Amino acid sequence: MPDATPDTSQKTAAPDLPPVEELLAAAVHALGGSERQGQVAMAKAVQDAIDAREHVAVQAGTGTGKSLAYLVPSIRHAMASEAAVVVSTATIALQRQLVDRDLPRLAEALAAELPHEPTFAILKGRRNYLCRYKLSAAWPEEDEAEQLFDAREVSATGRMVKRIQEWAEDTELGDRDELVPGVNEQAWRQFSVSAKECLGAQKCPSGAECFAELARDRAGQADIVVTNHSLLAIDAMEDFDLLPEHDVVVVDEAHELVDRVTSVVTGELSESTVGFAVRRVGRLIEQAVADRLLEAGEDLKALLAAAPAGRIDDLPEVLGMTLALVRDAAFACITALGPRGERRGAGEDPEQAGIRKAAFTALDEVHDTAQRMLDAFGHDSEVDRADVVWLDEGTGRMPPRLNIAPLSVAGMLRDKLFGSRTVVLTSATLALGGAFDGLARQWGLAAPGDGKKATWQGLDVGSPFDHPRSGILYVAKHLPSPGRDGLSPAYLDEIAELIEAAGGRTLGLFSSMRAAKAATEALRERLSVPLLCQGDDSTMQLVKQFAQDEPTCLFGTLSLWQGVDVPGPSLRLVIIDRIPFPRPDDPLASARQRHVAAKGGNGFMAVAATHAALLLAQGAGRLLRSQSDKGVVAVLDPRLATARYSSFLRASLPPFWETSNPDMVRGALKRLASES
């Protein structure tokens, strides 16, 4: 097991390159900006971390200019070491900002200061690129759409398929994100393959012009490679390299790292995953063997339909037997398929190879997931199990499904990611309750007592905004604690009065979609300003409407907590209905909380309060997006003022001026509205 402590015996030698401060100053000057203290401090910290080969976590508030602060030392290191630096993001929006705006401008600005103009490329998982071979060949049909959806939706998917085929004739990059408007997963899957399904460039008749391979080639030549957290995690975990060789990684939007990595290693089993494998193996094997898997899938379907949703701590005997049936039937299909491609020699017909590989991939997935679920219950004590299994109930289109995810990804991150690279982690929200420890523990960087010296530093470079002068944190202490039965009339009255005082201009962040919809329904008639709700249209379109029309309000849930960036007078008030703790029946959060408590820690603070602090800070961070912004963050949950954990949560928020006086807040909002 590699040590999480990077080797500090060598220093990066860059004798001919200007110091990072000088490069940053040149870049800022060329881009027409001015020196920002936090940006300089962050650039130096990143450079020091690279030189010392020591991980660093930097919290940098909105407006710091953090992308420049890490890109400048990253480019410098790439030039000095002649190896790429990888920059990973959680969202496509940030990827686009880096590749379409920040990096082109920065490369041009620094060209004269460096041996050559910095180069950059974007690299995503194979699924994100059009597969030329699948486009042209008789690949097994992705007929899931027809099985699951009604005729109207199938025809909508059909139109998307046609649009992809037209686009495929012109596209130069074959990148799904170029397709605007986007297409649904069913349509895209007709023309894309996973890394496991890909035939490999050597065998594939389209290998020489493959979009995914061309993207890899471009990344191999670049100084900076932009990717996402999922690909970063897969590259770190697998034995083969997906990303070019690198010794430094910058993880931006690092507050999302754990969730994204957990998603990558979460397995799922349902009637549809089994049915999909049966269709894939279809006519390739004897009918009776395929039928065995079909029947096992039917058993699973009946069992899951009757079982209660939620975490499964004890494996019911009948579920254990059904999982074993599914596993064994999948294994029988794998055996019946015969030797795998690599053992069938180079002479195999590529079309057949593609069909067989797709079948192996789907069967392996079913077999390995069923086995992993059976293994999950092997340990004596349920609190010490490495994996958590739970059942999600079916919703409209989706059948009930069994899931399995690791209790923690800390060990994996420590060994696979931090063990062999220098990692820079950054976000506007990393120091929860004023300290980095909570997230560092989840990353595997703080593991006291396990004998590992995790060498890392935490640095908060602050924010250029004057929070106490620009923003008010209002906690509605007079309201009752939020109950289970939706929003009480007192909450609706409070929201209506705040919105009226602000003249609209409100972003409502709710802890559930149900609450967002209920509030919208109840207030639409009552308010004179337009009120949009997430789900009315695409979120991008709704945010655009909200930003363009000052009185318009927008209500919604999770993706709005982190994804809205609206500077200016269209956003003067952020309303948060309740402290966003994970639901008590959240299977992973509750298992993690139980595990911490069993080890003598405070499970509530380590898991639920940390989760809530992160989201609250992200939600409150929507208010001030530029130096001239002003406004109010109104939290309607009185526990933020009264509960014993409230100081931890408030210490995670920007340092706004705080009050619980509703008259004062409404007065401030009215004044702001009259200035707009």
- The two counts, helices (H) then strands (E), for the chain are 29, 18
Looking at 40, 160, 210, 560, which residue binds ligand SF4 (CB under 6 A)? 210
Residue 528 Cβ, how far from ligand SF4 at the closest point, in Å? 54
Among 49, 109, 123, 199, binds ligand SF4 (CB under 6 A): 199
- Segment interacting with ligand SF4 (CB under 6 A) among 191-199, 252-260, 380-388, 479-487: 191-199
Q: Which stretch binds ligand SF4 (CB under 6 A): 205-213, 252-260, 269-277, 576-584?
A: 205-213
Strand-pairing partners, residue 358, are none
Q: Is residue 358 within the footprint of ligand SF4 (CB under 6 A)? A: no
Structure tokens at 522: 């109840």
d(CA 535, CA 511): 15
- If one asks whether residue 355 binds ligand SF4 (CB under 6 A), the answer comes out as no
Does position 246 interact with ligand SF4 (CB under 6 A)? The reply is no
Report the 3 state secondary structure along 288-324.
HHHHHHHHHHHHHHHHHHHCCCEECCCCCHHHHHHHH
| Among residues 133, 456, 474, 555, the one that binds ligand SF4 under rule CB under 6 A | 133
Which is closer to ligand SF4, CB of 199 or CB of 614? 199
Q: Which of 409, 427, 424 is nearest to 617 (CA)?
A: 427
**Cβ neighbours for 101, distance < 8 A, ≥ 6 positions apart:** none
- Side-chain half-sphere of 547: how many Cα atoms within 13 Å? 14
Q: What CA–CA distance (Å, rounded) separates 417 from 225?
A: 16
Which is nearer to ligand SF4, 133 or 491 (by Cβ)?
133
Single out the segment in contact with ligand SF4 by CB under 6 A; choices: 194-202, 229-237, 245-253, 658-666.
Answer: 194-202
- Of 1-9, 192-200, 462-470, 477-485, the window that binds ligand SF4 (rule: CB under 6 A) is 192-200
User: Toward ligand SF4, which CB reaches closer, 361 or 676?
Assistant: 361
State the nearest-atom distance from the C-beta of 198 to ligand SF4, in Å.
Answer: 3
Q: What are phi and psi of 583, to 5 degrees?
A: -60, 145
Phi, psi of 210 (to 5 degrees): -65, 130
206 is an interface residue for ligand SF4 by CB under 6 A: yes
Nearest residue (CB) to ligand SF4, 67 versus 206: 206
Question: Using CB under 6 A as the criterion, what x/- string covers residues 280-299 for binding ligand SF4?
Answer: --------------------
* 390 near ligand SF4, judged by CB under 6 A: no
Q: Which stretch binds ligand SF4 (CB under 6 A): 155-163, 206-214, 394-402, 468-476?
A: 206-214
CA distances from 357 to 293, 340, 360, 449 (A): 18, 8, 5, 45
- Residues belonging to the chain: 676
CB of 19 within 8 A of CB of 86? no
Q: What angle do CA 422, 427, 430 make, to 5 degrees?
A: 90
- Kindly state the smallest distance separating residue 343's Cβ from ligand SF4, in Å: 19
Could you say which of 57, 212, 285, 389 contacts ligand SF4 (CB under 6 A)?
212
Which structure tokens are listed for 525? 């008639």
Residue 600, judged by CB atoms within 10 A of its CB (0-12, 13-18, 19+), counts as exposed
First to last CA, the chain: 59
- For ligand SF4, the closer of residues 206 and 228 by Cβ is 206
Residue 193 within binding range of ligand SF4, rule CB under 6 A: yes
**Among 46-54, 204-212, 384-392, 476-484, which window interacts with ligand SF4 (CB under 6 A)?**
204-212
Given 114, 204, 326, 669, the residue binding ligand SF4 (CB under 6 A): 204
Within 433-552, strands assigned E span: 456-460, 471-475, 506-509, 531-533
The piece of 6-14, 82-90, 207-215, 609-617 that touches ligand SF4 (CB under 6 A) is 207-215
CB of 127 to ligand SF4, least distance (A): 9
- Supply the minimum distance, in Å, between the C-beta of residue 61 and ligand SF4: 41
We find the least distance from the C-beta atom of residue 208 to ligand SF4, in angstroms, to be 9
Which pair of tokens denotes residue 320? 């254990």
Give the shortest CB-212-to-ligand SF4 separation in angstroms. Answer: 5
Per the listing, tokens 């970063």 go with 232
**Which span (105-113, 126-134, 521-529, 593-601) binds ligand SF4, by CB under 6 A?**
126-134
Query: Which region among 197-205, 245-253, 435-443, 603-611 touches ligand SF4 (by CB under 6 A)?
Result: 197-205
User: Which of 17, 68, 183, 198 touches ligand SF4 (CB under 6 A)?
Assistant: 198
C-alpha radius of gyration, the chain, whole number? 26
Which residue lies nearer to ligand SF4 by CB, 131 or 284? 131
**In whole angstroms, what is the distance from residue 110 CA to residue 66 CA?**
17
Task: State phi, psi for 250 to the nearest 5 degrees.
Answer: -105, 120
For ligand SF4, the binding residue among 207, 310, 411, 568 (CB under 6 A) is: 207
**Considering the complex, what minimum distance in angstroms separates the CB of residue 206 from ligand SF4?**
4
| E-state strands within 429-488 | 456-460, 471-475
Torsion angle, alpha carbons of 628, 632, 635, 641, to 10: 100
Does residue 132 belong to the site contacting ligand SF4 (CB under 6 A)?
Answer: yes
Task: With CB under 6 A as the rule, give the number of residues binding ligand SF4.
Answer: 15
Nearest Cα residue to 326 out of 354, 284, 368 = 368
Question: DSSP characters for 229-295?
Answer: HHHHHHHHHSSS-SSPPEEEEEESSGGGHHHHHHHHT-EEEEHHHHHHHHHHHGGGS-HHHHHHHHH
Residue with smaller CB distance to ligand SF4, 133 or 546: 133
Give residue 94's identity as a one-letter amino acid code.
L
Q: How far is the CB of 193 from ligand SF4 (least distance, A)?
A: 5
Q: How far is the CB of 350 from ligand SF4 (least distance, A)?
A: 9
* Binding window for ligand SF4 (CB under 6 A); candidates: 112-120, 202-210, 233-241, 469-477: 202-210
Rank residues 199 and 333 by Cβ distance to ligand SF4 and give the closer one. 199
Note the residues at the interface with ligand SF4 (CB under 6 A): 126, 131-134, 193, 198-199, 201, 204, 206-207, 210, 212-213
